[in-house]
Amino acid sequence: MASFNPFSQSENPASETSPQPVANRPVSRKAPWTEAAETFSIIACGGGVATAIIFQQIALAIVPPVFALSFNIINRSRRLQQTRARGVLSQQRTQELRSELQTIQDSFESLPLAERIIEIEACLRRLSQATVELQGQQTNLVEDMEDDREKIKEAFAILRQGVYNLSHHTNTSIDRLRTELDTLRRDVEPSAQRVAQQITQEAIAPLQQQQQQVQGELNQLQQHHSLLSPQVQQLTEAVTHLRTHTAQHWLSEIDRRLESALPYRYQVVAEDASDYIFQALNQGKEHVLIVTPWLELNPGRSQALLEAIDALLSQQVFVSFGWGRRGDVGRARDTHRPIALKDGGWRYQPERDPQGYYRLLPQLLELKKCHKRLTLKLLGTSERIIVCDRDWALLGGHHLLCHAATNTPEVGLYTNDPHVVVDLSQRFNLVPHLKRRSLPMPQRLMVES
């Protein structure tokens, strides 16, 4: 029986499956398009620098090197991946060879010496072929790396030359601009100085004329002053005499004489009477009456006024407003006045009230929806009256509801005379609302002398 010979059985498969050396393989793969693009970008760098110098566009010198570096990085990455793949294949092939050698060594022990020699020779041939293949792969890897290194050196040389040319072109342009700027400055400075001198002369000439005129008028005033000095002295003495007899002095004197002549209190009020409105709203227990031609909205105190009215109405106290100046009321449908009369009532037109004489009216109407004891009677009057129950009354004066409209302070009269207070309340109750069909002259509420 023939003995089992593993060397003779493994020789033919190994020879059939053994790969050809890389150096002997025909190169069938085509070069990737990125290598051609890289070569084209490197060539375009020189053209880009020349074009940038001609057309003075920096972008033409920068874009080609950027593309060249980008394609170079892509090719290097691809080649590195190929090198790694080849290394993995070499490691796998070496591992297979080691396994085969181990198998052969294990088989040597069970074979005769002659067969061992034959198998060893076949194994050495296969090892020689594998060694030649690995050497070919290493040679190709070294050549590829040398080609990459040369291309990278060439790309960097072109890029360095482009940067140098661009820097030189930039410095040349800056120097040329500086030269042109200096030339322009030398040309403009004389013109600017000449224009400044003309403007200065044109501006100073009228001022000199005005100075001469003022000097002449000053001389005339000095002459008039020498003539008016005695008269000014007399006028000063008269003003000094009047300082001791001011309006407040005369009002105090009138109050003193009224108090001495009548059993009730009569006091002249020359200041702002707004505090009397708040006093009436704080002291009222039955009925507070306020008659005013206007209902102005005072940003500082109107909110406090509305809160005081609301608090007083919540205490079941009647509050009445007699308002509306006759000149601000119209009965035509297209009237240009703030208050328009209509059948059965009236309408407030804010767009016809630019001065804001009745801007508090909407807030009072909202307050009237919540309290039935609040009365708004359109009178068409210009009188100003404040009545607090049957305790006291203020006739005239100016306050926050008609402060801006009057412009000038007015003197009022404060009294606690019950005849005057009751008569004012009765007159207010008897005066009707102003209507559309008949616009009579408003009846006066104040007590006539």
Please report the pLDDT score of residue 260 as a whole number: 57
What's the pTM value of the predicted model, to 2 decimals?
A: 0.44
> And the tokens for 384?
């100003």
Q: What is the pLDDT of residues 317-368, one digit of tens each?
A: 999 999 999 988 987 677 789 999 887 788 899 999 999 999 999 999 999 9
Pairing of strands 339-342, 329-330: parallel
Please report the pLDDT score of residue 442 as a whole number: 57
pLDDT at 225 over 80: no
Q: What is the CATH number of domain 248-430?
A: 3.30.870.10
Q: Which residues of 21-56 are buried (b: 16+ CB within 10 A; e: fewer)?
A: bbeeeeeeeeeeebbebbbebbebbeebbebbbeee
Q: Where are the domains positioned within the chain?
A: 6-183, 248-430
User: 390, 400, 399, 397: which is closest to 425 by C-alpha?
Assistant: 390
pLDDT at 16 over 70: no
User: 282, 311, 297: which is closest to 400 by C-alpha?
Assistant: 297
Q: What is the DSSP string of 13-67?
A: HHHHHPPPPGGGS---PPPPHHHHHHHHHHHHHHHHHHHHHHHT-HHHHHHHHHH
Please give the average per-residue pLDDT across 185-197, as a whole number: 81
Q: What is the pLDDT of residues 363-405, one digit of tens each?
A: 999 999 999 999 999 998 889 999 999 999 999 988 889 877 6
pLDDT at 250 over 90: no
Please report the pLDDT score of residue 216 as a whole number: 81
pLDDT at 258 over 70: no
Give the Cα separation of 416 and 393 in Å (integer).
6
Please report the pLDDT score of residue 20 as a whole number: 45
Give the Cα separation of 329 and 347 in Å (integer).
10
**Please, which pLDDT band fits residue 268 given cuts at 50, 70 and 90?**
confident
Q: What is the pLDDT of residues 28-43, one digit of tens each?
A: 456 678 777 777 777 7
% of residues, the chain, pLDDT over 90:
21
**Please, which pLDDT band fits residue 120 given cuts at 50, 70 and 90?**
confident
pLDDT at 248 over 50: yes
Spell out the residues 6+ positions from residue 278 whose beta carbon is closer than 8 angstroms to its own.
Answer: 304, 305, 308
